[in-house]
Chains A and B, each alone.
Chain A
Amino acid sequence: MNATIFREINFLIKKEIRQEWKQKYAFQGLLLYVVSTVFVCYLSFKQIIDPPTWNALFWIILLFAGVNAVAKSFMQESRGRLLYFYTLADARSVIMAKTVYSLLLMITLSIISLIFYSLFVGSPVVNYPMYFLAMVLGSAGFATVLSMVSAIAAKAGSNTTLMAVLSFPILIPLLMTTIRFSKNAMDGLAWSVNVNFMIILVSLNALVIALSYLLFPYLWRE
Chain B
Amino acid sequence: MEKQSLTSKKTAFIQWWKWLSVILIFYTLIAGLLIDVPRLPILHESIRNLFFHVTMWFSMLIMMIASVVYGIRYLRSGKITNDIKAEKCVQSGIFLGILGLLTGSIWAKFTWGAWWVNDAKLNGAAASMLVYLAYVILQGAMDNEHKRARISAVYSIFAFTLMIVFIMILPRLTDSLHPGNGGNPGFGAYDLDSGMRTVFYPAVIGWALLAAWITEIRVRMKYIQHKKENS
Other A-B pairs beyond A152-B138, A173-B170, 15, CB < 8 Å: A148-B158, A156-B151, A162-B137, A162-B141, A168-B130, A169-B127, A169-B133, A170-B127, A170-B162, A172-B127, A177-B174, A196-B174, A211-B161, A215-B154, A219-B150
Which B residues are CB-close (under 8 A) to A165? 134, 137
Interface flag for A43 (CB, 8 Å): no
Q: Is the CB of A218 within 8 A of B153?
A: yes
Known contacts A207-B165, A211-B158, A218-B150, A156 near B130 by CB under 8 Å: no
Q: Is the CB of B170 within 8 A of A200?
A: yes
Interface flag for B40 (CB, 8 Å): no
A-B CB contact pairs (8 Å), 28 listed:
A148-B158, A152-B138, A152-B154, A155-B147, A157-B141, A159-B141, A162-B141, A166-B134, A168-B130, A169-B133, A169-B134, A170-B127, A170-B162, A173-B124, A173-B127, A176-B123, A177-B170, A199-B173, A200-B170, A200-B173, A204-B165, A207-B165, A211-B158, A211-B161, A215-B158, A218-B150, A218-B153, A219-B151
Q: Which residues of chain B in 114-159 are interfacial with respect to chain A, using CB atoms and an 8 Å cutoff?
A: 123-124, 127-128, 130-131, 133-134, 137-138, 141-142, 147, 150-151, 153-155, 157-158
Q: Is the CB of B166 within 8 A of A156?
A: no
Sorted nearest first, the 6 A-B pairs with minimum C-beta distance are A169-B130, A169-B131, A172-B127, A156-B141, A215-B154, A166-B134
* Distance to closest chain A CB from B111 (angstroms): 23
Interface string of B89-125 (1 = CB under 8 A from A): 0000000000000000000000000000000000110
Q: How far is the CA of A169 from the CA of B166 in the complex (A)?
A: 11
The interface of chain B, by Cβ under 8 A from chain A, is 75, 123-124, 127-128, 130-131, 133-134, 137-138, 141-142, 147, 150-151, 153-155, 157-158, 161-162, 165-166, 170, 173-174
Quick one: which of A173, A196, A207 has the most chain B CB within 10 A? Answer: A173
Known contacts A156-B142, A218-B75, A219-B151, A173 near B173 by CB under 8 Å: no
* Distance to closest chain B CB from A38 (angstroms): 27
Residue of A with least CB distance to B72: A218
- The SS class assigned to the A binding surface is helix
Q: Which residues of chain A in 166-188 are interfacial with respect to chain B, using CB atoms and an 8 Å cutoff?
A: 166, 168-170, 172-173, 176-177
Known contacts A152-B154, A211-B158, A215-B158, A173 near B147 by CB under 8 Å: no
Residue of A with least CB distance to B157: A215
Q: How far is the CA of A212 from the CA of B153 in the complex (A)?
A: 13
Which B residues are CB-close (under 8 A) to A159? 141
Q: Is the CB of A152 within 8 A of B151?
A: yes
* Distance to closest chain A CB from B98 (angstroms): 15
Partner of A155, one of B75, B151, B153: B151
Q: Is the CB of A173 within 8 A of B123?
A: yes
Q: Is the CB of B166 within 8 A of A173?
A: yes
Which B residues are CB-close (under 8 A) to A218? 75, 150, 153-154
Which B residues are CB-close (under 8 A) to A162? 137-138, 141
Q: How far is the CA of A26 from the CA of B174 in the complex (A)?
A: 38
Q: How far is the CA of A39 from the CA of B166 in the complex (A)?
A: 35
Which A residues are CB-close (under 8 A) to B128? 169
Which B residues are CB-close (under 8 A) to A199? 173
Which A residues are CB-close (under 8 A) to B157? 211, 215
Which A residues are CB-close (under 8 A) to B130? 168-169, 172
Which B residues are CB-close (under 8 A) to A170? 127, 131, 162
Partner of A172, one of B123, B141, B158: B123
Which B residues are CB-close (under 8 A) to A173? 123-124, 127, 165-166, 170
Q: Which residues of chain A in 195-215 are interfacial with respect to chain B, using CB atoms and an 8 Å cutoff?
A: 196, 199-200, 204, 207, 211, 215
